[in-house]
Each structure stands twice: as C-alpha cells, then as structure tokens.
Structure 1
Amino acid sequence: MRIAIAHDYLTQLGGAERVVLSLMKAFPGAPVHTTLYDPDTTFPEFRDADVRVSPLNKVGALRTNHRIALPFLAPAASQVMIDADVVVASSSGWAHGFPTTGKKLVYCHSPARWLYLPEEYLGTKAGVIKPALSAMTPALKRWDALAAKTADRYLANSHVVQERIKQVYGISADVVFPPHRVETDGLQEPAAEVVQRGWPDFHLLVSRLLPYKNVDKAIDAFNSMPDERLVIVGRGPIADRLRSSMGANCVLLEGIPDAQLRWLYAHARALVAPSHEDFGLTVIEAAAFGTPTLALQSGGYLDTVKPGVSGYFFPVAEADQIVDAVRRHASLPLDRAHVTAHAATFSEEAFISAIRRAVGELVN
C-alpha cells in the first residue's frame, strides 16, 4: 500500500510540524507533500525526508513569509497532485485540498483560522493584511468547502476542533490527540542568557509570536510582578514589538536548539499558556518534564490540562488573571510526579497506533 503524507507548509517550528514528524515515524519512507519548504526554518529531521513541493516554492520570499503567499496558496495547493493509495493530510487550511489518486485521511489541526476566526488570528494590528484577506474570503471559503468534501475521513486534534469541523463543514470527526515528541532523557543544555542573569527560577512561555497568542498579556502580567521572571521562546512577526515592552524580568529567546528547550522545560516553575489554542502541544511537552501549566480556560487546553493535577486555569487572557494564576500556583504548588503521569497519556506510540488504525479502516 502506497502511503503519502501531506502538510500545509514546512517553514516553521511548531506543534503541527512535530505531528508530521510523528506521521513520518508511523509510515517510514512515505513522501511528504507540501506547498512551501524551507529547511533552515523548520525541524532538521525534514532534511532526511522525501519532501515534494509545489511550484510556489521557487519564490524565496514566500518560503520566508508564508503569510504573503496567502493569495497564491489555494491554487498552489490544487496543483500538488499526490499519486498514492492513501494520503494522510496534516491540515490547518491547505493540505486537505491537495488532489490525490487514492483515499484521503485528514488530520485537522483546525479549519483555517484566517477564514473562520480572522479577528482572533490577526489581532487588532493586522495592517493591510486584514482588508486584503476580507476581499479574498468569499473565494477562499468556496475553495475550502470543496476541499473538505474531497476527504474520505476527518480526524480532529481536540474536542474544540471536532466541534469546529462540524460547524464549518458539517463533517463528523473522531478525536485523536496529537503526541508530544519531547525526549525527556535527551541532552539538556542550559540557556546561556537565562544562566547569565542568575535567575533562581522562572516561568516559561513557548509560542509563535502572533497577535492571537496573547504573549503581550503575559508580558504585562510579569511587568507587574518584578519578583517573578518570564522566559519566552518563539519567533514571529511581532517579536520586536514584544521585546520593546518587556521589563528587566522578561527575556525573549528565538531559534534555540531542542537541548536548550528541554532544559527550560525541566527547570521552569510553570508554563504560561495564555493563547486560544486548538490543542496546545507545549502543555504536554512541559508536563513530560513534570512542569505544570497555567492556562487560559479555553479551546484545546480543556483537553490537555487537568486542573489541580497538571495545572491551573485562568478564565480570560488578561494580565490580572495571569497574575492571579501565578500567585495561586506559588501558594498551592502541584506535584511534579502527578504532572508527568498526566503527560504519559499523550504518548507518540498511542498517536501512531490510532493513525495506523484509521488508515487501515479507511482502506478496508
């Protein structure tokens, strides 16, 4: 049986890209089809994979900034013809539209946020992107609806995405939680900038730096708590704006190696997760090291955080609510052994077994 893997674009270091790495383990040797691929800005493991790209990949500017590729991604996706018996498409907007000669199983991270949750996705400072997107939305929604109909089966990465798929496409999807791929016994390298500051402890925030991630709210919270410290790990278009708003007790690290991220996960007092996430894989990655999470009571965090066991919720993404959560955890710290046990329920082995089983059911 010929299996192929599909993904929107391989230009980032994110949870969706980690899922593709797990799919590669589930189906060794399967080619990976995508619209854009930049080996320098995503996980190095993809260099050893058979990555096949659309003609759009010839334009270097689009590889470095997939957002400006938005007007071209739908036609580019329609040109990614995949000759396979089964395509497993990891999709948050484009890969579910790749045409194929065989069956298509879509693992959906979310129906396209920029179409169905534009305010949340773009934030309040969207500049010229927002009117341009508004103009394209009717045509993109038509393309997206047709793309969804080409799938033989949908899987959702969380219950909130399951509900969204039903609402947007009218499709019933089963939930398969994505795995964490953190090697807790892997090499740990202290983050030099944190060590140099001599911080005895710190909170951690791992996120792409986009408006809807609410990183600015976390910075505001820690600016009001000079006795606490925050380490932010991530890249994105608002990095400079965030950095300019930080107090001396906050630091932003961009593009750090996995060994340093493992060290940060292992040594953080807690992970701060203030964004609207469809799943929120960083919560499970942190929990694998016994680090609890202070999370927004919304979206995928409802699946990944067990209140009072692996973390605490705050009701809205506002600075004062984040402060309350930090203070609550300081007064009622959680047992790190219980946090680790919670993370074990989101193993890569369980994910691979579920995906293989879904492919088998689809074929049979």
Structure 2
Amino acid sequence: MTSQRPTVAIAHDYLTQRGGAERVVLAMAAAFPEAPIYTTLYEPRDTFPEFGDLTIKTSWLNRIRLFRRHHRLALPFLPLAASSTRIDADVVLVSSSGWAHGFRTPGRKVVYCYSPARWLYQSRRYLGDKPSFIESLGLWVLRPLLIRWDRRAARSAHAYVAISSIAQDRILIEYDRSSVVIPAPRPNTVARPPEPMPDVVDWLDGDAFELCISRLLPYKNVSTIVEAYASEPRRKLVIVGKGPQADELRAMATDNVRILESITDGQISWLYRQSRALVAISYEDFGLTPLEAASFGKPSLVLRWGGYIETMVDGVTAVFIPEPTVAGVREGLSRLDSQEWDESRITEHADRYAEEVFVDAIRELVKQQSD
C-alpha cells in the first residue's frame, strides 16, 4: 500500500432507484465520506437525494437517458460498462447484486454481496411465472454468456462479504467463494421529521392500516398481498413502491388499497408512525423493511424464509407465515390483531442493526484489507 490510510472507493451496480441496496451504499459513504462512488447509471430524481451531496462517477452508459430511466433495458450492455470502468484506489468497497463486482481496479476489491444475480440463478422466481417474450428471449440468448462473465468477475475479488447466511451459502454455491457475514444497517428514517400526506389522511378517514414498502417485482409477492386485502374489505393497506408490476397491481387493487410511489423519507416516516404493522412476504436474502418498521416500534407480518428468519423474532418483532399465499396473509393478519406487542422490545431489537454498528464493521473490514 502507498499509505497508512488506504484510498477507498465505493462501487454500486446502478443508482436508479430507492431501495435497500442504495441505503447500504449511503451507509458505506458515511463510513468513508471522502470515497467517490462509481456506478454504471445514475438518475438523481429516481434515487435518494443524499447522493446529490456525494461524488458520483458514472460509466459511458450513463449518457443514454433511456437506460437511466429504465435500467433493465440496459442489461445487454451492463457487463461491458462494468468491465470498462477502472477504479484507481487502494481498496474498492463494492455493493453488488450482479454488476459492480465486474469493475476493474489495481487495488483490492471487497464485494459486499446481497445475492448472486437473481435474474441469472433464480430467473423464474425473479421474473415470475409469466415473463414477457422479450425477457424470456433475452435471458435465453444471454444467460450462458452472462454466467461466464459473472463468475469471472467474482473470481477477481479479493474478499467477499455476505449480507446474510443465506446469501453466504449462495455465494459458496455459485462462486465457490467463502465469505463473512455483515448484516446491513436498518434505514434511519425514524430520525426524519414526519410529513403528513393529506390525500392519504382523507382516504384513511381515521381507519387503521397496514403498510407494504417494496419494489413491485414478482418475487416480492405484492400481488398476493393485494389479493388478500380484496377479501378483507374492512382493512386498509398502503403500498409504497415502483416496478414492472405497477400497472397490474393498480388494476387488481380494491378500494381499500392505495398504491404510492416516489415519496420522501419524511412521508415514509409519517406512514410508519401511523400504521399498525408492516406486511413483507417476499423472498429476501435479508429484508430491510421489517427492521425499518421495528425502529418505529411496529411489528411485521413476514415470510418464514431467508433473511427474515435471521433478523426477525417470532412473537416479539413479527408474525411469520409459512407460504406467500392469500390464506397465509389473512391468517397472519389475524395473529397480528390477537397479539399484544411491546414497542420497547421491538425498537431495542432494531437498534442491534443501527448504522453505527455497520459503519464500525465495514471500517474494520477495509482496515484488514489494507494491512
């Protein structure tokens, strides 16, 4: 190394949405405030505004506005964009679920992996049972080439870090790489001043409601939640999210379901404070939103799968259901109603995943790579 304190850079797949991975990148930036962030695509209005205060360096692909707004259309070009991006730093801290681990560097590359690319290794779950013809054809043509590229990129890393033990197992299976686990930090939206939403207040008319915050993708199982609420007309549900299933879900939604998108953290803070509970039944390797709900003292209804098993405690912070079915959601809601919830125990659990815990762990990881 050229200095006692290594030059650190951060890399991420693309900054075109507001999700858990983007929040993790912001926590990495909190750990290393001087580190530039490299990414293939950056669309400021579609991701968290905090990125506007950071140094963002994009690939040549970012010149194409269509791809910034619809990153899935850029899939055939993302391997080239990643491979042609060179990061000159002693240590590159990579946030990746499929692309940024392909960035090149003369330094040491440490990959924080949410999951080996779901669209490659779990394509049916990721795309759903009825993918479009274009999606099916594109994956059929490109998948063998992309898998070779993906595994070669994985071999270029000096160390792998998994977000959870289930991701750790998948990294070993797909990449034959060992890894350590560092859980992601819970979002700190509880610190945001709440911003009431008059339209939602009028629609609620004093009624209690549950909350679902999710990207609108097949494996998130939001359609199952919407269907369950169609058979629970006395309940109300607020969904916050964007994604390919948005139009389909709006067509399905009954009068007791409201779908919102592109809202502020202050508005999310208000929704959490007003809600009874969170509903999250997606196939997640970690699952940040139940921890976010817990920071507000709110319980969750979650799927007994993956990361939720590691981060939630049955009967303390959450109700578990065995399968993402309409009957399961209805039964879970009934259990949420019947149980007494201790807000202080819920928030105490969430504090174990505070950002400062993650920052300390990630700084120590980078220090080890620089020794």
Please classify the TM superposition score into its range, dividing by the shorter chain length: over 0.9
What residue is the counterpart of 2:222 in the other structure? 215
1:191 paired to 2:204? no
Letter in 1 for 2:100: A
Letter in 1 for 2:155: K
Question: Deviations 1:239-291 (Å, cap 9, x if unpaired)?
Answer: 11101111111100111111110011122111000111111111111100001
Deviation at 1:185, TM superposition (A): 3.6
Aligned match of 1:50 in 29, 52, 55? 55
Aligned match of 2:28 in 23, 30, 51? 23
What residue is the counterpart of 1:132 in the other structure? 138
What residue is the counterpart of 1:337 in the other structure? 344
What residue is the counterpart of 2:14 in the other structure? 9
Is this contact kept in 2: 1:160–1:299, CA < 8 A? Answer: yes
Q: Aligned equivalents of 1:224 and 1:143: distance in 2?
A: 46
Unaligned runs of 5+ in 2: 1-5
User: How many residue pairs were aligned?
Assistant: 364
Q: Aligned equivalents of 1:185 and 1:50: distance in 2?
A: 24
What residue is the counterpart of 1:172 in the other structure? 178
Q: Aligned equivalents of 1:12 and 1:55: distance in 2?
A: 19
Q: Aligned equivalents of 1:7 and 1:185: distance in 2?
A: 25
Structure 2 SS opposite 1:184:
helix
What residue is the counterpart of 2:365 in the other structure? 358
Deviation at 1:125, TM superposition (A): 2.6
Distance 1:183 1:132, change over 3 A: closer
Greater alpha carbon shift after TM alignment, 297-306 vs 76-85: 297-306
What residue is the counterpart of 2:115 in the other structure? 110
1:69 paired to 2:74? yes
Letter in 1 for 2:86: M
Q: Aligned equivalents of 1:63 and 1:194: distance in 2?
A: 30
- Percent identity over the alignment is 49
Unaligned runs of 5+ in 1: none
Greater alpha carbon shift after TM alignment, 113-122 vs 197-206: 197-206
What residue is the counterpart of 1:249 in the other structure? 256
Structure 1 SS opposite 2:10:
strand
What residue is the counterpart of 2:331 in the other structure? 324
What residue is the counterpart of 1:38 in the other structure? 43
Letter in 2 for 1:140: L
Greater alpha carbon shift after TM alignment, 316-325 vs 328-337: 328-337
Question: Deviations 1:223-245 (Å, cap 9, x if unpaired)?
Answer: 11111111100111211110111
Letter in 1 for 2:271: L
Deviation at 1:194, TM superposition (A): 2.1
Deviation at 1:56, TM superposition (A): 0.5
Aligned match of 2:242 in 214, 226, 235? 235
What residue is the counterpart of 2:298 in the other structure? 291
Aligned match of 2:163 in 154, 157, 161? 157
Is this contact kept in 2: 1:311–1:334, CA < 8 A? Answer: no
Aligned match of 1:98 in 95, 103, 120? 103
Structure 1 SS opposite 2:233:
coil
Letter in 2 for 1:162: Q
Aligned match of 2:315 in 308, 317, 321? 308
Aligned-pair Cα RMSD in Å: 0.9
Deviation at 1:199, TM superposition (A): 3.9
Question: Deviations 1:281-307 (Å, cap 9, x if unpaired)?
Answer: 111111000011100111111111110
Deviation at 1:31, TM superposition (A): 0.5
Is this contact kept in 1: 2:189–2:266, CA < 8 A? Answer: no
Q: Aligned equivalents of 2:192 and 2:78: distance in 1?
A: 37
Q: Aligned equivalents of 2:163 and 2:191: distance in 1?
A: 26
Q: Aligned equivalents of 2:244 and 2:128: distance in 1?
A: 12
Is this contact kept in 1: 2:94–2:109, CA < 8 A? Answer: yes
Letter in 1 for 2:124: E
What residue is the counterpart of 1:123 in the other structure? 128
Q: Aligned equivalents of 2:113 and 2:122: distance in 1?
A: 15
Letter in 1 for 2:48: F
Question: Deviations 1:190-241 (Å, cap 9, x if unpaired)?
Answer: 2223201114210000000111111000001111111111110011121111
Structure 1 SS opposite 2:44:
coil
Deviation at 1:335, TM superposition (A): 1.4
Q: Aligned equivalents of 2:160 and 2:340: distance in 1?
A: 39
Q: Aligned equivalents of 2:263 and 2:47: distance in 1?
A: 12
Q: Aligned equivalents of 1:37 and 1:186: distance in 2?
A: 24
Letter in 1 for 2:312: V
Aligned match of 2:147 in 118, 133, 141? 141
Is this contact kept in 1: 2:186–2:353, CA < 8 A? Answer: yes
1:277 paired to 2:284? yes
Deviation at 1:334, TM superposition (A): 1.8
Deviation at 1:158, TM superposition (A): 0.9
Is this contact kept in 2: 1:156–1:173, CA < 8 A? Answer: yes
